[in-house]
Structure 1
Amino acid sequence: MRGMSEAELSHLGVGADEELVYRSALRSPGLGTEALALAAGMGVHELRAVLERLTASGMVTVAEDEGIMATDPFVVTERLVESRLTELQAEIQRVIAARHVVSVLLDDQRDGRRRSGPDGVERVEGADRVRARIDELAFFARHELLSVQPNGPLSAAAIEGAEEADTRALRRGLVMRTIMRSDALQDRRTADYLTGLSARGARIRTMDGPLERMLIFDRRTALVPIDPKETGRGALVVHQPGMISSLIALFERFWSAGEDLGQEHLTEIERRVLKTMVRVEKDEAGARELGISIRTYRGHVANLLRRLKATHRTQGVLAARDRGWL
């Protein structure tokens, strides 16, 4: 009997002997202790210990005449599933709670890095190593990411490298504030990227004048270039609280002086095309006035109408005025 089949209830927390006796009782209801022990292929003393556990879990009942009855399988299965789910939920909660270990380990790592450089400053050289360090810091950031990008439009490679990490950070609920130079918005690709970030919850401001490149993670770690004029040389990773405080203060001054990025924006050529649409009826004349090809002019017009959700130019001009573009 012990080899009657593979265990079916083990994944619900039922031991092999308990399942064997329970299924024997299902097949032969009302047997006494000795008869059930014989059916299950085990000694009476061993059976009594198993019956004690089965009775406690409600899987069998033992009558006064020692007749042993198995509880209805539907009832047993529901109880076992519910009990197992409760155990699994508790285990999941323990696993989730263990995430604090990351913070503890990161503190150890930061302590080691503080000791590895003078005054809590770590030197990272080489573009690949800097990029890897930024990815690491962004991945483990838990609250906030502050950044200043002072060099105008972003390259396609820079956008591609940052977009996935930025999106992942925003999905985790990070507060993201970014400051860009105003002329960055004149680049269509950069403007679209920033608008997309803003739509996903990032706060972006632009300003004119000189800016200092920096990244600040959770107000605990900052990254600045070794040489602002030659950013390819590498970066300094700053852990020292006093230096972090000064960098945050500088960021906040930049932030106060900046202007919020709207959900919509126009490049300089788009502004000129839009103003020309108001005054000039024919595309040939408009293109000639702006010094661009008629094909390029019509491409800008079509793009503006699409963004304004307008079916013709008059409607587009009215919509542009409503948005404050004119």
Structure 2
Amino acid sequence: MDTGTTQLAQLALQLEHAVDKLRGIPVGVELVDDNELVQRRILEAAHTARELRAMHPVGSTDRGRQEQRSRRRVLDALQRGMEMRTIVHASVLDDPGKAARIRELHSSGDLHRVVDEPIQQLLVFDRTVAFVRTTPVAYSPGALLIRQPTLITMLVDLFEHMWRKARDVTEPVQRLTAREREVLDLIAEGRSNSAVARALSITEAAVGKHVASVFAKLELPATEDVNRRVLAVLAYLRGTAR
């Protein structure tokens, strides 16, 4: 376990212990069980906030009009000057629709970064109020509404630690699916296509298709002058090393 991961685990453990101690005690921590009430409280906080830090373990489950309203609210908040930074789990980018929406928001000013390790759903407005899901499952009902300054500081520290480790969502390697990243990870270990196929329990032909897709997404044309496997590995290492 590297130093960054150890520090992250320590911060998460401190937060967990602090929340356990403060449950039920009127010191700036409120348990809100009703999801609609949680959403209203979030909208109230967002209405006047100038800054938002957010972490989302998966993409939004909203569809149709709900998703359009959510996107519109974010764009409106950006237009009135809110500074927004969002960390998402890498699995979100496996869905082309969600990936396109994230890149649109990123280009509009809601800066996104990507992580591979599990994260909790979190919103922190202006270093004054935070929302944390009561269970580590995305979009589960209920949340802790936190105004306690010490806990807010810990949550901000947790977010900033993750932000420094995360990767920019616009990096080409972020276009790869989870399976393509697995294939490229094994190639980075020096394995042949047949060895990759054995390791993943898939056919060698399937590996070949994944490799071809990786080359296309990383925009590596076939030429006699370069080894695309080496260039793909280098791009992967640049995109994952932080």
TM-score (norm 2): 0.60
**Is 1:154–1:184's contact at 8 Å kept on the other side of the alignment?**
no
User: What residue is the counterpart of 2:146 in the other structure?
Assistant: 238
Q: 1:145 aligns with which of 44, 52, 67?
A: 52
| Letter matched to residue 266 of structure 1 | R
**Is 1:187–1:267's contact at 8 Å kept on the other side of the alignment?**
no
1:243-254 matched pairs, under 5 angstroms: 243-254=151-162
The change in CA–CA distance for 1:259 and 1:197 in structure 2 (over 3 A counts) is: same
| Identity, % of aligned positions | 30
Q: 1:127 aligns with which of 35, 39, 43?
A: 35
**Is 1:144–1:174's contact at 8 Å kept on the other side of the alignment?**
yes
**Is 1:146–1:217's contact at 8 Å kept on the other side of the alignment?**
yes
Structure 1 residue 161: Cα displacement: 4.6
**Is 2:133–2:144's contact at 8 Å kept on the other side of the alignment?**
yes
The one-character-per-residue Cα deviations of 1:171-193 (angstroms, maximum 9, x if unpaired) are 11211110011121111111111
The change in CA–CA distance for 1:161 and 1:124 in structure 2 (over 3 A counts) is: farther
Question: In the comparison of the two structures, how many residue pairs are matched?
Answer: 182
**Higher Rg:** 1
User: What residue is the counterpart of 1:93 in the other structure?
Assistant: none
1:1-326 matched pairs, under 5 angstroms: 118-141=26-49, 143-150=50-57, 152-157=58-63, 159-229=67-137, 231-262=139-170, 265-268=174-177, 289-290=205-206
Structure 1 residue 126: Cα displacement: 1.8
Q: Give unmatched runs, 5+ long, in structure 2.
A: 1-23, 184-204, 208-212, 223-227, 237-242
Work out which structure has the larger RCO, using CA pairs closer than 8 Å and 6 or more positions apart in sequence. 2
- Tell me how far apart the structure 1 counterparts of residues 81 and 92 of structure 2 sit (CA, whole Å): 26
Say what the alpha-carbon RMSD is for the aligned residues: 3.9
The change in CA–CA distance for 1:252 and 1:229 in structure 2 (over 3 A counts) is: same
- Tell me how far apart the structure 2 counterparts of residues 211 and 255 of structure 1 sit (CA, whole Å): 12
- Tell me how far apart the structure 2 counterparts of residues 229 and 128 of structure 1 sit (CA, whole Å): 17
The change in CA–CA distance for 1:249 and 1:234 in structure 2 (over 3 A counts) is: same
User: What residue is the counterpart of 1:57 in the other structure?
Assistant: none
**Is 1:145–1:175's contact at 8 Å kept on the other side of the alignment?**
yes
**Is 2:120–2:137's contact at 8 Å kept on the other side of the alignment?**
no
The change in CA–CA distance for 1:221 and 1:189 in structure 2 (over 3 A counts) is: same
- Tell me how far apart the structure 1 counterparts of residues 26 and 156 of structure 2 sit (CA, whole Å): 21
Q: Give unmatched runs, 5+ long, in structure 1.
A: 1-115, 273-288, 292-299, 315-319
SS at match of 2:144: strand
